Amino acid sequence: MSEYTAPRQDGGRIQFRGEVMTQSAVNERVLNADLGQYEGKEVRLRGFVYTRRDLGGVQFLVLRDRSGIAQVVLSGAHLPLPESSVEVVGKVVRQAKAPGGFEVQAADLHILSAATEPPPVELPKVEWNANPETLLDYRYVTIRGLKDRAALKVQAVLVNAFREALLAQDFTEIFTPKIVSAGAEGGANLFEIDYFGRRAYLAQSPQLYKQIMVGVFERVFEVAPVYRAEEHATSRHLNEYLSLDVELGFVQSEDDVMDVEEQVLQHIVARLGEQCSGELAAFGAALPAFSGRIPRIPLMEARRIVTERYGHQIGGKDLDPEAERLFSQFVKDEFGSDFVFVTKYPRTARPFYAYFEEDGLTRSFDLLFRGIEITSGGQRIHDLDMLRRSLRERGMSEEGFEGYLEVFKHGMPPHGGFAIGAERLTARILGIANVRFARAFPRDRHRLTP
């Protein structure tokens, strides 16, 4: 019956854009990062023209592939526009000045796909002359630059480490709806959808759904986009971002939740150290300092410290951005930690579902990382009567929350959780000032493309 299976070998001939190339003895493609293993041998490279220089009879090409860059020296070749996809077959020679210490000497190159115009900015020089809006307008090609892509690689590694740490602790991954009938925290800042003529919204958070799923799997996580229709356009907000959500049942207090987040962050830092040293170096970024345990300090204490030590007066109930920065500095100096949990927020500073004590404080926390909040979390109310009381005491009506309340008729165990904003964490790790550059295709107040 094998006549039905398609032939796997096609006689060693590859056809690209009408041009037929005969495969030589050098069949397998080699990645740029592996050149050192092939000194003196002939290799086949594929990738993109990152930079090119023609010195008359000799041409220099920096080829970029998924593993990194390599220098190629050619003679008599016609070099295509930057970002063209090419294939080169040549000999690997030791060359101290070349990236990685080796270069490839080749006669010619095959164009796999020619760029028809150069990129709007010189990708290798982006940091010297970058206009952020231009970079975002042409993001579909500017993200090819080594530094921009490094940020996205760090994010991919970080997200995978998040999942690894939770799977190892018996958490189950969930996939909850992003089209919802109501907001989790009231009606503000929701994007509206036309759902077959009915009004629906984009989910601001998987809050209720992850709570429900505690009743199913006890310990759950989700990695998915969330949406905030916030008008403000700051360097730390996105209208669509990736939320790393966790929720677990049978907790005794918010300390159990912080324990899990601590383990998750520790694993993320470890994985970044193992897999992203090059990416961190591209930003001149140090691995986050992680001093064993993350300090847990009550909000009132944090406010006192900021005022007494730094003379910074804070309005409101929370920490303002400057206070977050100062307090993080304090923690770094005193504990050697880039992370700090600020705990025990007053009820007025937290949503209605936060578990509260009679002293008016909640079993909640924020996580500050290098001066910016990247997580909110805490224990949730699991008791229906307490939940109703919380709404009542805030002057909120049960209207619109009927579906939410219904769930709590079915024996929800004590539970809590947290969420990490993936782009904020990435940006903060790498020292990226504008969080847009920690997302492949950011959406903001004014930006809907690319």
Is 163 near its own copies (CB under 8 A)? yes
Q: What x/- string results for residues 308 through 347 when contact with its own copies is judged by CB under 8 A?
A: --------------------------xx-------x----
Give the three-state DSSP class for 384.
helix
Q: How far is the CB of 93 from its own copies (least distance, A)?
A: 24
Residues between 136 and 155 that touch its own copies (CB under 8 A): 140-141, 143-144, 149, 152-153, 155
Which residues, other chains included, contact 72 with Cβ-Cβ below 8 Å and sequence gap of 6+?
45, 60, 61, 62, 63, 88, 90, 103, 104, 105, 106, 109
Count of residues touching its own copies (by CB under 8 A): 112
Helices (H), 276-374: 277-282, 299-310, 321-335
SS3 262: helix
E-strand ranges in 56-144 read 58-65, 68-75, 85-94, 102-113
199's CB contacts (< 8 A; 6+ apart) are 192, 193
Has 248 been labeled as part of a binding site? no
What is the closest distance, in whole angstroms, from the C-beta atom of residue 178 to its own copies in the complex? 6
CB 272 to its own copies: min, Å: 15
Does residue 296 bind its own copies (CB under 8 A)?
Answer: yes
267 binds its own copies (CB under 8 A): no
228 binds its own copies (CB under 8 A): no
Q: Give the integer Cα–Cα distance in Å for 87 and 45.
A: 6
66 in contact with its own copies (CB under 8 A) = yes
> Of the ranges 8-16, 53-61, 93-101, 392-400, which one interacts with its own copies (CB under 8 A)?
8-16
In whole angstroms, give the CA distance from residue 16 to residue 424: 41
Going residue by residue from 185 to 224, which x/- string records binding to its own copies, judged by CB under 8 A?
------xxxxxx-x-x-x------x--xx-xxxxx---xx
Rank residues 97 and 198 by Cβ distance to its own copies and give the closer one.
198
Residue 133 contacts its own copies per CB under 8 A: no
352 contacts 398 by C-beta, under 8 angstroms: no
Q: Is 312 annotated as a binding residue?
A: no
Pairing of strands 179-180, 372-380: unpaired
CB of 110 to its own copies, least distance (A): 12
Pick 94 or 357: Cβ nearer its own copies: 357
Q: Which stretch binds its own copies (CB under 8 A): 52-60, 102-110, 225-233, 263-271?
A: 225-233
> Do you find a cis peptide bond into 124, omega within 30 degrees of 0?
no
Contact between 130 and its own copies by CB under 8 A: the answer reads no
Nearer to its own copies, 97 or 410 (CB): 410
Rounded Cα distance, 190 and 334, in Å: 41
CB 443 within 8 A of CB 226: no
Residues from 404 through 433 that contact its own copies (CB under 8 A) = 406-407, 409-414, 422
Contact between 250 and its own copies by CB under 8 A: the answer reads yes
Is 428:420 a contact under the CB 8 Å cutoff? no
According to the binding rule CB under 8 A, does residue 287 interact with its own copies? no
Smallest gap from Cβ 96 to its own copies, in A, equals 28
Q: Which residue has the tokens 């993350």?
A: 294
